[in-house]
Amino acid sequence: MPAKTLTTLQKLKDKGEKIAMLTCYDATLAHACEEAGIDVLLIGDSLGMVLQGHDSTLPVTVSDIAYHTACVKRGAPGALIVADLPFMAYATLEQTFTSAAQLMRAGAHLVKIEGAAWLAESIRQLAERGAPVCAHLGLTPQAVNVLGGYKVQGRGDEQARQLLEDCVAVAEAGAAMLVLECVPSELAARITQAVSVPVIGIGAGPDTDGQVLVIHDMLGLSLSGRTAKFVRNFMQGEGNIQAALRAYVKAVKNREFPAPEHGFSA
């Protein structure tokens, strides 16, 4: 199987074919994901909650992400790997460069940062230095204390206009791909059309270029016992994890997931 690259994703967007992405944190599941046809693996700071048992992503460090990135790289050497820059790891340009270098050396092909148009200069300078960026907009979990909780973003005309402008700004600054989290489906569709780079949704409706879920969520595993609206348990009706992963890829590629009930209205 040929290695996945940013060119692979861009070709999928240009052809109107969906992109399947999952979080992953270890070599064994990374290998299973690659075998199942997952296009992109994300080492998310969600590991702070699903692996470490914290109540938010904020305690996660760059070293945590680097360790798990190296694990995933060894398990899936042909995968396209995105690694999160965690909370306050990109507060200044110098810190951003240092953090990104650590993750790229660990095996990441892109680094993911949360924010809005204020990230434009960091994105531009990272890209110039050979570190492609995935920009994460909408609900940004690292800013949960500012947002006042895990809430849908982009509702109402003013919020929608601002989010659209922010997405265009980071794309124009050189972001290689976007992740939209918990954004009204209609707005996410508009954003996907407005930018030329691939847009991956989580709780952003069916019309983004692809989908991402936390692997533990799509396997029906949860510490809290609660399931987010945008999650589907792909273990139901499947005999093992490998079958569930293949079912996820098929559902994304065939536009069966997400269904209307997994999205949000304006």
Where in the sequence numbering do the catalytic residues fall?
181
Q: Is 45 annotated as a binding residue?
A: yes
Q: Rounded distance, CA 65 to CA 1, Å?
A: 26
Helix ranges (H only) for 129-260 are: 144-147, 157-173, 185-194, 215-218, 241-253
The reply to whether 46 sits in an annotated binding site is: yes
Six-digit token pair at 47?
């590991």
Region of residue 197 (phi > 0: left; psi between -120 and 50: alpha; otherwise: beta)? beta
**What b/e readout covers 202-233, taking b as 16+ CB neighbours within 10 angstroms?**
bbbbbbbbbbbbbbbbbbeebeeeeeeebbbe
Residues 5, 177: Cα–Cα separation, whole Å: 12
Report whether 163 contacts 187 (CB < 8 A).
Answer: yes
Instruction: Give the span between the Cα atoms of 150 and 246, in whole angstroms.
Output: 29
What are the binding residues? 45-46, 84, 112, 114
What are the binding residues for Mg(2+)? 45, 84, 114
What are the binding residues for 3-methyl-2-oxobutanoate? 45-46, 84, 112
